[in-house]
Structure 1
Amino acid sequence: MARRDAFSGLRESPSSNTDEDGRSVDMPAFSEKQDIKQPLDLIPTAQRRKKRNRDWEQAHRAETVTYRGVPRECHEWIEEIAEGLAVPRDEVVRAFLEFGVKQYRCGQLTLIAYPKAQRMTLFPEGERKTLVSPAQSKEINAWLNEAFPVAVKNERGAKKKKGKKDLVTGSRWEIRVTYRIPVLLKEEIRSIANEHTLPVGELVWFFIEQALQAFRTGSLSLQPAPKMIGKTLFQDR
Structure 2
Amino acid sequence: MIKIKDIVKKYDGKTVLDNISTEFPEGKTTVIVGPSGSGKSTLLRSLDLLVHPDSGIISFPNFSLNYADKITSKQSKELRAQTSMVFQNWNLFPNLRVIDNITAAPIHVHKVPKKEAIAQANELLKRVGLEKYANFYPDELSGGMQQRISICRALAVKPKYILLDEPTSALDPELETQVLEMLEELAQQGQSMVMITHNIEFAKLSADKMLFIENGEKIFDGSKDEFFNNPSSRIKEFLDAISLQ
The TM tier, using the shorter chain, reads under 0.3
Structure richer in helix, relative to its length:
1
Structure richer in strand, relative to its length:
2
TM-score by length of 1: 0.16
Structure having greater relative contact order (Cα 8 Å, sep ≥ 6): 1
TM-score by length of 2: 0.16
Rg larger in 1 or in 2? 1
